[in-house]
Chain A
Amino acid sequence: MTDSRFELARDSHQAFICHCSSGDMPSHARDTGLRRLSRLTVFLTLAAGALTAVFTGLAARAFPGRHASAGVPQASPVRAQNTKPAAPQLVPVQSGSSAAPASPSSPPVPSSSPPVATSGGS
């Protein structure tokens, strides 16, 4: 703010205070104005709180944070006890040795019947 604007705002504010505290303004009008000002202050406080909550929620959804990738182990138990919101549950990754492919419950056997389907490249 420039000096001239600052002085203008200061002078206006002082004039308003003087106007309210002098006998120029009826007391009931001043009280009504102060009540309105009080209600406005309460309303703005509540609105600001509500907007803060809304934007916090939106930001949390839009930027959920960096998760471990599919190939990285899940967060440690210590981190899980943190009071921060829990990270989304990622797909667990199996270890290479125990993962599929799994062998069949019964192996193929020779067949002399006409095939119902043929397995081949496609």
Chain B
Amino acid sequence: MTVSFQALGTTVVLAVLDDEVLPDARAALDRELALVDAACSRFRSDSELVRLNARAGRPTPVGAYLFEALKRAVEVAEATGGLVDPTVGRPLRLAGYDVTYAVVRSRDGSRFRPRFEAAPGWRCLELDEANRTVRTPVGVELDLGATAKALAADRAAQVAASASGSGVLVSLGGDIAVAGPCPGEGWPVGIADDHAGSAAEAVAIRAGGLATSSVTVRRWRCEEAELHHLIDPRTGRSASSRWRTATVAAQTCVDANAAATAAIMLDEAAPGWLNARRLPARLVTRAGSVERVQEWPVAA
């Protein structure tokens, strides 16, 4: 059984193997969504992340959820050599993504003049695990858009499976995680440029996570051009890549999302980078041709 609803500014899908446990799984999922929103939202004035950004320069105590999210973000930044970096908050804001995407999309950006700054990089962060405090240098703003939703999908799938005793699939805006038993052939998942669009092909996964990054979504106009939300931390500009969409399967949804976003940033080097890490991936060029990496299957 599958339910779909809106949360975190995107579409949430919850699927369970056993229909009777859906209420338990849904309750567990709702708790996780509330936690991630309160901890990691860049647009909620009362979120912990907003408070942390406002206290740059001082060690700031944070909750367990935000600390875990920041740890994962730092690990991802390290693993991708800084291609997916949590210190991209200020570059994102200067590029025009300074409020919720619904507002960004609706306003007239034709006279907006963006500024482009490279991200300072995750190495400037100080995470004190013993005291659970975080310090960012003055002027550094954090954004967890590249990892927090995927982390929430991983956690939600695990807690929903534990709470319900059933196999579970959770999709948060196309960031997909599965936990527990799965259907015979695996969980069937569509692959598309936009998670709200129609699928170009379908695959089945039995464990772990699957995520897609695409330059075709979350776009806005500025004075000179059209920008998108995949900001290259090295330049502060929307990534200019051969690929318009990258989908990756990995051990977790966080890993899958990190690799998919890194693949966009890596441009021509993406297939080699993914191959070296044995990550099955589907890359779509700007012209629409598909390149399959590792054991990504040919469509049935």
Which residues of chain A have a CB within 8 Å of any CB of chain B?
64, 67, 69-72, 88-91, 93-96, 99-122
Q: How far is the CA of A101 from the CA of B280 in the complex (A)?
A: 11
Best-surrounded residue of A67, A93, A118 (most CB of chain B within 10 A)? A118
Chain A residue numbers with a CB within 8 Å of B174 are 117-122
Query: Do the beta carbons of B75 and A111 come within 8 Å of each other?
Result: no
Query: Do the beta carbons of A96 and B255 come within 8 Å of each other?
Result: no
> How would residues 260 to 300 of chain B score, 1 for a CB under 8 Å from any chain A CB and 0 otherwise?
00000000000000000111100000000000001111111
Best-surrounded residue of A111, A113, A120 (most CB of chain B within 10 A)? A120
Q: How far is the CA of A113 from the CA of B182 in the complex (A)?
A: 14
Residue of A nearest to B67 (CB): A91
Q: How far is the CA of A116 from the CA of B194 in the complex (A)?
A: 15
- B125 on the interface (CB 8 Å rule)? yes
- B220 on the interface (CB 8 Å rule)? no
Q: How far is the CA of A70 from the CA of B123 in the complex (A)?
A: 5
The smallest C-beta distance from B208 to any residue of chain A, in angstroms, reads 4
- B126 on the interface (CB 8 Å rule)? yes
Query: Do the beta carbons of B74 and A93 come within 8 Å of each other?
Result: yes
Given contacts A103-B294, A119-B195, 10 further A-B contacts (CB under 8 A): A70-B122, A70-B126, A88-B128, A100-B252, A105-B206, A106-B206, A108-B295, A119-B174, A120-B196, A120-B245
The smallest C-beta distance from B67 to any residue of chain A, in angstroms, reads 9
Residue of B nearest to A66 (CB): B126
The smallest C-beta distance from A58 to any residue of chain B, in angstroms, reads 15
Q: How far is the CA of A90 from the CA of B128 in the complex (A)?
A: 5
- B33 on the interface (CB 8 Å rule)? no
> How would residues 75 to 88 of chain B score, 1 for a CB under 8 Å from any chain A CB and 0 otherwise?
11011110000000
Q: Give the residue of A69, A90, A100, A116 whose beta carbon is less than 8 angstroms from that of B255.
A: A100
- B64 on the interface (CB 8 Å rule)? no
Q: Is the interface of A mostly helix, strand, loop or mixed?
A: loop
Query: Do the beta carbons of A110 and B297 come within 8 Å of each other?
Result: yes
Query: Do the beta carbons of A121 and B205 come within 8 Å of each other?
Result: no
Q: Give the residue of B122, B125, B173, B258 whose beta carbon is less than 8 angstroms from that of A100.
A: B258
- B213 on the interface (CB 8 Å rule)? yes
Best-surrounded residue of A105, A109, A115 (most CB of chain B within 10 A)? A115
Query: Do the beta carbons of B210 and A119 come within 8 Å of each other?
Result: yes
- B166 on the interface (CB 8 Å rule)? no
Query: Do the beta carbons of B171 and A100 come within 8 Å of each other?
Result: no
Chain B residue numbers with a CB within 8 Å of A118 are 171, 174, 189-192, 195-199
Query: Do the beta carbons of A119 and B202 come within 8 Å of each other?
Result: no
Q: Give the residue of B190, B202, B249 whose beta carbon is less than 8 angstroms from that of A104.
A: B249
- B53 on the interface (CB 8 Å rule)? no
